[in-house]
Amino acid sequence: MKKIAVLTSGGDAPGMNAAIRAVVRKSIYHRLKIYGVRRGFVGLINREMHPMQLSSVADIIHRGGTILHTARSPEFLTKEGQKKAIEFLQEEKVEGIVIIGGDGSFRGARVLEEAGFNTVGVPATIDNDIPCTDFCIGFDTAVNTVTDAINKVRDTATSHERTYVIEVMGRNTGHIALIAGLAGGAESIIVPEAPFDLAEVCSRLMRGVQRGKLHSIILVAEGAASAMHVGDEIKRLTQLEVRVIILGHLQRGGTPTAFDRILASRLGAKAVDLLLEGQGDHAIGYCKGEIKAVPYDELFKNKKEFSWDDYQLASILAI
C-alpha cells in the first residue's frame, strides 16, 4: 500500500478535521503518500485531489467543518458517475481510501470496494445513527451545542414564564433530542422512535404549571414532528404562551469537544492501520471503550439502538 486518499462526505460534523489530521499524519508516519479529495464523491468524479503534507493539517484539530469540503453526490448514485470516479482512482493508482461520513457515504464506499479498492469508513455524523459505534464523530459536540442552547433559552423562558418548543436535527432518529434533552432537563422529549401524544405532553405541562414551574422546555426531534405544529397545538390545548425555535444547521458547526477530537484521532489513525494491513470493507467503531473494525455488511444489516433506559430516565426526572 503506497498511495491512499481521504475524503469527507455527506453532512459535515464537528471533528471531521481532527479525523483528517489523524489520517494524514498517521499515513505520513508510515511513509504512505496521502491525498485529499475535495467535496467527497463529487471530487472523485471531477478529479479534484491533491497531495497532503504534515502542514496541510496544521491548526485544524479545533476547527469545525471540513477543510476538504463535503457534498451529497446524486451523480455518484448513477453508473456513469461511479465509472468516472473509478477510472480516476485507477489512473491515479490510489490503493486505499478513508471515507469519513455517515451511512450513505459507506454505501458509496461499497461501490469502490466492488471495483477493487480497499476502503475504510470513519463514522462522522451528528445524528449518531451508525450502528457499529456507540459514538459518531460530531454527536458529542452537537449535543453540547443543543444543551447550551437549552440553557440560554431557559433564562428567557423563566423571565417571561413561557413554554419553549425546540426542534433539533437527527434525520429520522432521536438520539440528539434524547441525550441533549436529558442533559438540559427538558420537560418532554419527542422522538421518532417513541409514539407521542400531545394531550399527554400538555397535561404534563399543566401539572408543572400547577406546581409553580416558571417555564417548560419541549425538545422535538426533526424526524418526529414539526416544532411549529407542536407549538401551535400546545398553544391551542393549554392557552400557555409558547415560542418555537428551530436550531437547524448551527448544530453542525462549532469547535469540536475534546471527546470528539480524541474519538476522531483514534478512529482516523485506526483506519490507516487497517489499510496498511491490506484490509478494507470495514468501518471503524468505538464500542464499550474499544476501537474496533466492523464489516460494512454488519453495519448495513443493523439499526442503531435507541437508548430506552435514557428515555425512561428523562421522563422520570422531568416528572
In what order do the strands lie in the sheet containing 188-190? 188-190, 216-221, 163-168, 242-246
Which lies closer to ligand F6P via its Cβ, residue 102 or residue 121? 102
Helix (H) or strand (E) holding 279: none
Asked whether the CA dihedral 43, 48, 54, 60 is positive or negative, the reply is negative
For CA atoms 116, 118, 122, 128, the dihedral sign is positive
User: Which one of the listed residues 12, 59, 103, 127 is annotated catalytic?
Assistant: 127
Using the minimum distance from each CB to ligand F6P, give the nearer residue, 11 or 285.
11
Those residues with Cβ within 8 angstroms of residue 89's Cβ, 6 or more apart along the chain or in another chain: 5, 44, 97, 112, 115, 117
Tell the smallest beta-carbon distance from residue 83 to ligand F6P (Å).
25
**Least gap, CB of 217 to ligand F6P (angstroms):** 20
Site string (111-130) toward ligand F6P, x via CB under 6 A = --------------xxx---
In DSSP terms, 165 is beta-bridged to 218, 244
Give the residue, chosen from 14, 96, 170, 256, that forms a contact with ligand F6P under the rule CB under 6 A.
170
Is 12 a known active-site residue?
Answer: no
The interface mask with ligand F6P, positions 209-228, x = CB under 6 A, is -------------x------
Size of interface with ligand F6P, in residues (CB under 6 A): 10
Dist CA 109 CA 105 (whole Å): 6
Grid coordinates representing 293 are 473494525
**In the range 287-316, which residues lie near ligand F6P by CB under 6 A?**
none
Residue 45 in contact with ligand F6P, rule: CB under 6 A: no
Chain positions contacting ligand F6P, by CB under 6 A: 11, 102, 125-127, 169-171, 222, 252
Question: Catalytic residue numbers?
Answer: 127
